[in-house]
Structure 1
Amino acid sequence: MSSVVVVGTQWGDEGKGKVVDLLTRYADFVVRFQGGNNAGHTLVVEGKKFIFHIIPSGILYEDKMCMIGNGVIIDPGVLIKEMAQLQAQGLTITPDRLMISEAAHLIMPYHASLDQAKENALSDGDKIGTTGRGIGPCYMDKVGRVGIKAGDLRDESLFRDKLKAALDEKNFLLTKKYNAAPVEFEAVYRQFQEFAEKLIPFYGNISVELDAARKKDQNILFEGAQGTHLDIDHGTYPFVTSSNTIAGNACTGSGFGPAYIDAVVGIMKAYTTRVGSGPFPTELFDTVGNELQEKGHEFGATTGRRRRCGWLDGVVGADATRLNGVTGLAITKLDVLSGQSELKIATSYELNGKSYAAMPSNVREAGAVTPVYESLEGWKEEIDHIRDYDDLPLKAKEYIKRVEEVSGAPANIISVGPDREETLLLKNPFEK
């Protein structure tokens, strides 16, 4: 058996969903291990678009078991809606195909209210760029030991007591600090009883199930959300998400032993994008940036927000290789670079006469650095029709080679278009 973790190496939106979809054909289990519905995967299969927010994209395969781990935070209303939408598109969503960890925490209505109220209270320069979906407040309650877990819905009395205690505090903050409307107890209570009826049949102990799968020599694929530099500990704090996005959290967020992980696939877009606020050293504000944005269709799958675009940041890539223990890269959207006469890769930063080989931990320094670029010649040919690495333009192969050298990891997967089949699999991470 093999256990493979898929992570983003940048600020998210690298195309993890497509790579997970590709690798799922070799897996028996697909496990989402962190984040919430503030992230999304868009997949195009035979011209048909599927958008995922919480459910692992492996659900597209009828013979796979998908799991939502304890490290994920779940908005029950969003999850149930997503299940219904995927079923309407012809997918089967049943307990023998999808399991939800009882230990996963629930996003409550007051979490979203607090998230939006807090962001609205900040000045423009201090806004984090949160999606307003309650992700941060939910994780805060989890760490503060006052969160509500999915399994709590099994015990009506326990859920009622925890909800009442939470609203005593949250409504005080909403009304007194933020001058916002309170959340009504009875409405939330009734709504979540309805959610419970639909979700409880999907509950299970994912750690136990994964250990059993490992002992049966079955293949396990772990998928995360967002990207390395949105990690709460290792990202461009405070402009980050509220969970650990790096590969190590695949174990914590699912209850799987770290000694059993065999490979880490780092998804790296051939250029760099970022949604929301925060440092972005290689961001472009010229026609090239606009061309990348338009050709790459750079809009968030969850928020619809326009993504900021820039040249590939090799510093960010090298940081990600180190932090995740990346064993192989999946380079995505290489086709978007076709037609650019000159390509650039940032190999280091400079600030006040000092050179940086890693992202500064001081957020103001990270926002003030100047990237040191290396220029490469681009290629004119469109490449979305190519299915063999040897058929790629010479300049495209030279670009890939330089990305490997700068990031410190080999390119094992190359994506040349949005469709499932527009992918070159050079080395299968499930094969030891």
Structure 2
Amino acid sequence: MIADIVIGLSYGDEGKGKVTHHLLKSGEYSHCLRFNGGCNAGHTIYHNGKKFVTHHIPAGVFFGVKSIIGSGCVVNLEQFYSEIRELNDNGVETDGLIYIARNAHIITDEHLEEDNKDTAIGTTKRGNGPAYRDKYARLGQRAEACSRLVEDGFVIDLYEELYVRAIDPPTILCEGAQGFGLDIDWGDYPYVTSSHCTTAGALLNGIPPQAVRKVYGITKAYDTYVGSKEFHGKGRVFDLIQQIGNEFGATTGRSRQCNWLDIKMLDKAIKTNGVTDLIINKVDILREVGSWNLRSGTGKGIFVQLGNEAAWAQYITRYLKDVKVTFSGNPERI
């Protein structure tokens, strides 16, 4: 078995969908596995000239790759079936490609109703938190107990799929949701999501550590955050970044607070996740804004002012000297 893992190193919205789509073009993957989260996260993908935003469905479907919603995910049935219809309506074939791990959990109407009452930390109101809570309280409903999913042939056993039925050892692309800063254990608690957004979260889907070949860590040239905590910097430059970068959530449409890239947090995320390849997206936005700054540490932090793009890029590559860095300024490709 070989596994490559794509994770976010910030607070989500880093462009993981674009990178996953790019990697799938190689044609070497037998499976694409979405390993955490639910419909609270949206991945934006440009495929054959069309823009797609998926919340549940892994990106493998765009390339005829078997796509699995993993055991660390929670599933909203209405959203799941709606996404399949939308993909089919736009010419994407999904028959025989989409599966849900039998031990993934279901988001119920009760979870949605409860989540809509909670305003404390600015969640997406998609029922994820209550669904994960019931999972760990051993009160939840697994996919294998959902007759509709079973009858429609979507439920799969990960061990059987990856170890028993496979004729050849699988090559898996693990597609993460959200980011390190939102991880239930490593994020800025309590302003976090309810799942494991790290490399370790992918391994919880039956992937042994020795199978990991590459860990692709994704961030942007600046940081963004959606939620209720104070995050953004003050001033016109951050308003410009938000407007030019179209920083509005793919799931909720809410505006994303903006700040300079936190190089210290990025270094921490890289080291604790074993990142081998770092992709920094949206460099083109800073080009248009004309400011090249970084920060180091949470809160007010220490600001590093760089005069131009070359100095900014050089500072980053020297600071993060143990990882391969790619700077990207195109929404459709690396």
TM class by shorter chain equals: over 0.9
SS in 1 for 2:246: coil
Tell me the equivalent position of 1:313. Answer: 262
Q: Is the 8 A contact 1:267 1:329 kept in 2?
A: yes
In the TM superposition, 1:232-271 aligns within 5 A as 232-252=184-204, 254-271=205-222
SS in 2 for 1:117: coil
Distance of 1:288 and 1:118 partners within structure 2: 32
SS in 2 for 1:375: strand
Whichever residue aligns with residue 22 of structure 1, its letter is: H
Aligned with 1:406 (options 312, 316, 319): 319
Matched, 1:295 2:238: no
When normalised by structure 1's length, the TM-score is 0.73
Tell me the equivalent position of 1:227. Answer: 179
Distance of 2:173 and 2:166 partners within structure 1: 12
Q: Is the 8 A contact 1:321 1:409 kept in 2?
A: no
User: What per-residue deviation string (whole Å, max 9, x for no partner) do you get for residues 184-237 of structure 1?
Assistant: xxxxxxxxxxx447x641111123322358872442100110000100111000
- Structure 1 runs not aligned, ≥5 long: 120-126, 155-194, 350-365, 380-394, 424-432
Do the aligned partners of residues 130 and 290 (structure 1) sit closer, same or farther apart at CA in structure 2, a change above 3 Å counting? same
Tell me the equivalent position of 2:30. Answer: 28
User: What per-residue deviation string (whole Å, max 9, x for no partner) do you get for residues 42-77 of structure 1?
Assistant: 112343111100001221112x11111111100111
SS in 2 for 1:118: coil
Distance of 1:144 and 1:249 partners within structure 2: 19
Q: Is the 8 A contact 1:341 1:377 kept in 2?
A: no
Q: Is the 8 A contact 2:3 2:212 kept in 1?
A: yes
Number of matched residues? 332
The share of aligned pairs that are identical, in percent, is 36
Tell me the equivalent position of 1:208. Answer: 160
Distance of 1:269 and 1:207 partners within structure 2: 35
Matched, 1:417 2:327: no
Tell me the equivalent position of 2:13. Answer: 13
When normalised by structure 2's length, the TM-score is 0.94
Tell me the equivalent position of 2:69. Answer: 68
Q: Is the 8 A contact 1:340 1:378 kept in 2?
A: no
Distance of 2:71 and 2:115 partners within structure 1: 22
Distance of 1:410 and 1:249 partners within structure 2: 21
Whichever residue aligns with residue 67 of structure 1, its letter is: I
What displacement does 1:284 show? Answer: 2.2
Distance of 1:341 and 1:19 partners within structure 2: 25
SS in 2 for 1:92: coil
- Structure 2 runs not aligned, ≥5 long: none
User: What per-residue deviation string (whole Å, max 9, x for no partner) do you get for residues 312-369 of structure 1?
Assistant: 111220121122111110111111111344311113x3xxxxxxxxxxxxxxxx5xx3
Tell me the equivalent position of 2:59. Answer: 57
